[in-house]
Amino acid sequence: MKKGDSDRLNVNRTTQTTGPYDTACFHAQQAAEKYLKAVLALAGSPILRSHDLEDIYDQCLAVAPTLALDRMELSALTPYAVQLRYDMEFWPDQATAQKASAMVDRVRAAVLAVLPTSAHP
């Protein structure tokens, strides 16, 4: 959770400036991934080496069936893990980065709702 919060802080800082917004989106995906993997780690479940947030979410549902997230939002964040770093045509604007930031806030809140208070940062 702390590592996810570090990424989230970078997202929030960058979206309040003139960019670069590609890094904000990258950190948004990374924060969401780390939050989801915190659910798996706490449950003692194996953690796939994957950046696909929908796949990770499916794993989480096996150990935390009340984890309520929007699959479409997770799907929208997933490309920011890899495509964003290598696709020279993929340059998100500030509005896109702010939307990614809001998604991360929702992922964090949903994860905190299923984690025991002792696991909260």
* Strand locations in the chain (E): none
Full domain range(s) for residue 43: 2-119
What are the pLDDT digits (tens) for 3-61? 999 999 999 999 999 999 999 999 999 999 999 999 999 999 999 899 999 999 999 99
Closest CA to 110 of 75, 80, 46, 65: 65
pTM: 0.95
Q: How high is the pLDDT of residue 119? A: 87
Which CATH number goes with the domain that contains 14? Answer: 1.20.120.330
> Structural domain tally of the chain?
1
Give the whole-angstrom CA distance, residue 23 versus residue 25: 5
The CA-CA-CA angle for residues 109, 24, 29, to 5°, reads 50
pLDDT category at 102 given cuts 50, 70, 90 is: very high
